[in-house]
Amino acid sequence: MKVAVLGAGAFGTALAISLSQTGPVALWAREASHAAEMAARRENARRLPGAPLPEALNISADLARASAAEVLLLAMPMQQMGGFLAAHSTRLDGKILVSCSKGIDLATGQGPIALIEAACPGARAAVLTGPSFAADIARGLPTALTLATRADAPDLQARLSTPTLRLYRTTDTVGAELGGALKNVIAIAAGVVIGAKLGDSARAALMTRGFAEMSRLALKLGARPETLAGLSGFGDLVLTCTSAQSRNFRFGQALGSGAAFDAAITVEGAATARAAMELGLRHGIEMPITAMIAALVGRELSVSDAVSALLSRPLKEE
Ligand SMILES: NC(=O)C1=CN([C@@H]2O[C@H](COP(=O)(O)OP(=O)(O)OC[C@H]3O[C@@H](n4cnc5c(N)ncnc54)[C@H](OP(=O)(O)O)[C@@H]3O)[C@@H](O)[C@H]2O)C=CC1
Ligand SMILES: O=C(CO)COP(=O)(O)O
């Protein structure tokens, strides 16, 4: 199965580098100048500097050529995916479309699988998610991810695994999508706690209560508990809440400490906080941490007011 990665950001580039070990891979960038620069330097200096691009990796800005592959990995920010699918649905329909994005679409309240199925009804939709920093994958460090598809897909699992990228498969697409989306919101909150110097104990409490609210919403929407406890949920929550490599965590740190943050950096949890809060309201699920992050991101609340609001919630059973 030929593979192409659509979206030459940090994650798409890292996956393309890793997958080049096991077969031909194309990497598509939306800007011709970006593709030309990568092809000339054999490096994605804009998005993943310091990671050499293998000679076998075919780089282009020609979507028709790249999307001739059977398996297309969609590696762009979640809020861009709906527009991308709508613009190219004819070309993408009938393919195996693997979303590598983590988030909930703010416009529709849906995850990547539903967006793909709505735009491309003839496609096979999948989600690739789990604890993995692009830089680690690109360096060939060991990484384990979850591949979620509605129908069991050992063939796709085998094609997208490499000696250092170990995929586990599941048919719980709801759990895999929501785990990856919601953990980013909690990672922003963990960053706020550290940025505001509230301490590691407070971060551990927040991660635990954050996991509880992630699980409440996901289970209500049909996820399986074991998926939430797996790589795409708990695993990625731990990674993102504890590492300064995470952009969501760093964004939270900046919010907590009052520092500036570059608005051009992809921070999926910012839009997803609001989308998740709206889903929680619609389904009657209490999500106090998510609501706090949505309000902080929207500058509707100060950090000290947000912390006071969380600490003054009624005492209850765990
Ligand atoms: N970085 C990481 O470690 C990981 C990221 N992810 C997920 O991967 C997704 C992408 O993140 P990441 O690669 O890091 O983000 P980056 O910010 O590094 O790159 C985003 C890429 O998407 C491209 N893009 C933006 N809008 C569109 C569009 N409308 N059509 C086509 N391409 C577009 C950008 O193009 P351009 O360069 O031209 O602006 C850019 O190349 C996110 O959902 C993230 O959560 C998942 C696991 C790890
Ligand atoms: O999803 C990720 C790690 O699994 C990447 O996290 P950030 O988007 O916060 O950098």
Q: What is the mean pLDDT of residues 96-108?
A: 98
Distance CA(215)–CA(227), nearest Å, equals: 10
Q: What is the mean pLDDT of residues 276-280?
A: 98
Question: Which ligand has the minimum distance to the alpha carbon of residue 231?
Answer: 2
Domains in the chain with CATH codes:
3-171 (3.40.50.720), 175-311 (1.10.1040.10)
pLDDT in tens, 117-158: 999 999 999 999 999 999 999 999 999 999 999 999 999 999
Binding residues for NADPH: 11, 30, 102, 134, 247, 268
Nearest atom in ligand 1 to 12's CA: 13
Which tokens is 4 given?
């192409």
pLDDT band at 318 (very low <50, low <70, confident <90, very high): confident
Inform me whether the pLDDT recorded for 316 exceeds 90: no
pLDDT of residue 314: 81
Inform me whether the pLDDT recorded for 308 exceeds 90: no
283-302 in b/e burial notation, b at 16+ Cβ within 10 A? eebebbbbbbbbbbbeeebe
Distance CA(228)–CA(74), nearest Å, equals: 23
- Choose, from 183, 197, 220, 316, the residue flagged as catalytic: 183
Confirm or reject: Cβ of 237 under 6 Å from ligand 2: no
Binding residues: 11, 30, 102, 130, 132, 134, 183, 236, 246-248, 268
Confirm or reject: Cβ of 183 under 6 Å from ligand 2: no
Confirm or reject: Cβ of 7 under 6 Å from ligand 1: yes
Nearest atom in ligand 1 to 245's CA: 3
pTM beyond cutoff 0.95: yes
Q: Enumerate the β-bridge partners of residue 27.
A: 5, 59
Q: What is the mean pLDDT of residues 283-294?
A: 97
Q: What percent of the chain has pLDDT over 90?
A: 95
Here the ipTM equals 0.99
pLDDT of residue 250: 98
Distances (CA, A) of 54 to 17, 44, 58, 71: 7, 11, 9, 19
Confirm or reject: Cβ of 146 under 6 Å from ligand 2: no
Inform me whether the pLDDT recorded for 12 exceeds 90: yes
pLDDT band at 312 (very low <50, low <70, confident <90, very high): confident
Nearest atom in ligand 2 to 180's CA: 1
